[in-house]
Amino acid sequence: MKKYLTLLFTIYSSVLLNAQNTSLVKLDDVRLIKNSKIIVALTNFEEINLSLKNTVRNFWSFCPISDFMPEKEAFLKAEKEQGFVVMKIDGAGSDKEWNISIYDKDENTLIKNQLPLGHGYDETFAFGLFSMQYLCKTMDESNSKNNLRWNSLYKVKSAELKTKKLYILDSDLDSDLDKEKIKENYQYPIEVVSYDKWKDAILNKTEGVAYCIIVPFIMYLNSQSGQAQQERLFLFHYLVEAKSGVVYSIEKDHKKIKKSSIRDYNDVASKE
């Protein structure tokens, strides 16, 4: 019976967390991060390292940043000295999936956030850091034991979306969706923008702007014995405030922004 209940809880947790595009995060781990200093582990890619240094300095404030150093040295320092955790990019350089994570001194994952694909490093890391930080802040402030009820954490501020101009990346639009259909299905300020304008809003923390960003997540399903794990791809539309990184909603959706997507965004903004 105990094994059966454990299995049910595991499945239930996977479904809920899959909808958030993250792993289980516990309040104790969030508080550990808050009360620690972060060592940022560098990758084998100089361009990624340069971007990571700049964005961490500009988009992370939940706890102090201590050092930037190679991964092996970072974990060695965290192991030998008290009060440190390690932030690192997992899957750096991958065209399939990668994420930004924070680990304790024993290399246990404290929090993990999936990153989007196909964008520049700066805007990718800015989104990843801001959205991960927002989850930490909301859990800490609300004393949420974990992130299983993630939707209620974001719902608190989702109505603010109506006061922002929502930037939609032109290359993310479905071919059948034109500006008139967008206006018909979204009753608040919205603008279809070029990549440069979208990117600049993120990196400059433009006030009064929210943006949509699509993040892929691969869920690995255990198959029958003797067979390889099955992969299932999910896509999530994050609606994020550019200035502070407030996440208004995470919508499980399509590869492209469709009319139904716009209606979902409108529902988020319409909440009281």
Residues 142, 215, single domain; the answer is no
Residues 173, 119, single domain; the answer is no
Residue 11, domain member (yes or no) = no
Residues 201, 102, single domain; the answer is no
- The pLDDT of residue 6 is 40
- The pLDDT of residue 266 is 96
Q: What CATH number did the domain enclosing 140 receive?
A: 3.40.50
The predicted-structure confidence for 219-233, as pLDDT tens digits, reads as follows 776 655 556 667 778
Phi-psi map region of 181: left, alpha, beta (phi>0 left; psi -120 to 50 alpha): alpha
Residues 162, 242, single domain; the answer is yes
- The pLDDT of residue 15 is 41
- The pLDDT of residue 96 is 73
Residue 243, domain member (yes or no) = yes
Residues 135, 183, single domain; the answer is no
- The pLDDT of residue 11 is 37
Residues whose CB is less than 8 angstroms from the CB of residue 186 and which lie 6 or more positions away in sequence, other chains included: 166, 262, 263, 265, 266, 269
Q: What residues of the chain score a pLDDT lower than 70?
A: 1-22, 150-151, 221-229
Residue after which a domain boundary falls, among 146, 171, 187: 146
Residues 38, 119, single domain; the answer is yes
Query: pTM here?
Result: 0.87
Residues 140, 161, single domain; the answer is no
CA distance 6 to 11: 9
Residues whose CB is less than 8 angstroms from the CB of residue 260 and which lie 6 or more positions away in sequence, other chains included: 253, 254
Which residue's structure tokens are 């988020």? 268
- The pLDDT of residue 150 is 66
Number of domains in the chain: 2
Residue after which a domain boundary falls, among 146, 181, 208: 146
Residues 169, 247, single domain; the answer is yes
Q: Give the range of the structural domain holding residue 41, as residue numbers without chain letter.
A: 21-146
Helix (H/G/I), strand (E/B), else coil: 234? strand
Residue after which a domain boundary falls, among 146, 168, 200: 146
